[in-house]
Amino acid sequence: MARLLRPLSGFAAALLLVAVAAGCAASREAPTIAPEVARGKAWYTTCAGCHGNAGEGFRGMNAPRLAGQSPDYLTRQLVHFRSGVRGGAADFYGVAMNGRAKALPDEQAVHDVVAYIATLPAPPLAPAGEGDATSGRALFESCAACHGARGEGNPTLQAPAIGGLDSWYVARQLANFRKGIRGREGDAEGEQMRAAAALLPDEAADRDVAAYVATLR
């Protein structure tokens, strides 16, 4: 009996501590993922080919970043793509999203994929691009009333966060708004942007504003 009660060796004691720790860890509840996020992750697999696994965007596919954008804005744009209010034949790149958005079977699926995107960390800021950020800063003053001085967005005005967005994407959207390709009837917020973009004289100004937006933190 005395032999059985002798102190454990250092190695045996260490093994015992590991076993106890493993047992305690197993007894804890595993982290749970909200059902809508789990479903949204599955839906997002069809989005990742263009927008990136982390929603970082991919210029080669003309797909903007999604991570870091407000859920309300993403939901609204998916609804617009599904209904045809956004995209269409005149929007060479946006038309691809009409089919992608319609692949989501219902509003619940839209909600789910947006819930998953909301869990993705915002990617690093993109390069300033081809425009003149200094000139763009002056032009951006009229944009700040809705989008914020730092491009942080304004949920009350339903103005999305644009700070740090890829300049190539911002410039294209400004041109689309000004040409009436985007901001058509049925898109109230887009119609407001169409009027605002009309104040920019040309695509050079679009690029300048976009270059400045890309610098915003």
Task: Give the Cα separation of 86 and 12 in Å (integer).
Answer: 67
12, part of any domain: no
Q: Tell me what pLDDT residue 87 has.
A: 97
User: Are both 98 and 137 inside the same structural domain?
Assistant: no
CB-CB contact of 78 with 133 (8 Å): no
SS (H, E, C) the chain: CCCCCCCCCHHHHHHHHHHHHHHHHHHCCCCCCCHHHHHHHHHHHHHHHHHCCCCCCEHHHCECCCCCCCHHHHHHHHHHHHHCCCCCCCCCCCHHHHHHHHCCCCHHHHHHHHHHHCCCCCCCCCCCCCCCHHHHHHHHHHHHHHHCCCCCCEHHHCECCCCCCCHHHHHHHHHHHHHCCCCCCCCHHHHHHHHHHCCCCCHHHHHHHHHHHHHCC
Mean pLDDT of 187-202: 96
Last-in-domain residue among 84, 117, 150: 117
* Residue range(s) defining the domain that contains residue 90: 35-117
User: Are both 92 and 155 inside the same structural domain?
Assistant: no
Last-in-domain residue among 58, 85, 117: 117
User: Are both 79 and 152 inside the same structural domain?
Assistant: no
User: Are both 151 and 208 inside the same structural domain?
Assistant: yes
28, part of any domain: no
User: Are both 140 and 211 inside the same structural domain?
Assistant: yes
Task: Give the Cα separation of 38 and 32 in Å (integer).
Answer: 10
What pTM was estimated for this model as a whole? Answer: 0.83
Mean pLDDT of 12-19: 46
User: Are both 142 and 113 inside the same structural domain?
Assistant: no
Nearest residue to 158 (alpha-carbon basis) of 80, 57, 92: 80
Q: What is the number of domains present in the chain?
A: 2
Query: What is the overall mean pLDDT for the chain?
Result: 88
Q: What percentage of the chain carries pLDDT values higher than 90?
A: 80
Q: Tell me what pLDDT residue 32 has.
A: 87
Task: Give the Cα separation of 143 and 149 in Å (integer).
Answer: 8
Q: Tell me what pLDDT residue 20 has.
A: 45
User: Are both 99 and 163 inside the same structural domain?
Assistant: no
- Residue 206 structure tokens: 């679009």
Instruction: Match 């944009």 to its residue by tokens.
Output: 143
Using the predicted structure, report yes or no on whether residue 40 has a pLDDT greater than 70.
yes
Q: Tell me what pLDDT residue 217 has.
A: 75
Using the predicted structure, report yes or no on whether residue 61 has a pLDDT greater than 80.
yes
User: Are both 42 and 103 inside the same structural domain?
Assistant: yes
The CA angle 101-104-108, to the nearest 5 degrees, is 120
Last-in-domain residue among 90, 117, 144: 117
211, part of any domain: yes
User: Are both 102 and 76 inside the same structural domain?
Assistant: yes
Using the predicted structure, report yes or no on whether residue 139 has a pLDDT greater than 90.
yes
**C-alpha distances in angstroms, 29 versus 24, 25, 26, 32, 36?**
10, 8, 8, 8, 20
Using the predicted structure, report yes or no on whether residue 18 has a pLDDT greater than 90.
no
Nearest residue to 47 (alpha-carbon basis) of 63, 70, 36, 71: 63
- Residue 102 sits in a domain whose CATH number is 1.10.760.10
Q: How many CB atoms lie within 10 A of CB 73?
A: 19
Using the predicted structure, report yes or no on whether residue 22 has a pLDDT greater than 80.
no
User: Are both 145 and 84 inside the same structural domain?
Assistant: no
User: Are both 175 and 110 inside the same structural domain?
Assistant: no
pLDDT digits (tens, 9 = 90+) for 98-136: 999 999 999 999 999 999 999 999 887 767 678 999 999
User: Are both 206 and 144 inside the same structural domain?
Assistant: yes
Q: Tell me what pLDDT residue 1 has.
A: 45
pLDDT confidence bin for 9, thresholds 50/70/90 = low
Using the predicted structure, report yes or no on whether residue 3 has a pLDDT greater than 80.
no
Q: Tell me what pLDDT residue 44 has.
A: 98
159, part of any domain: yes
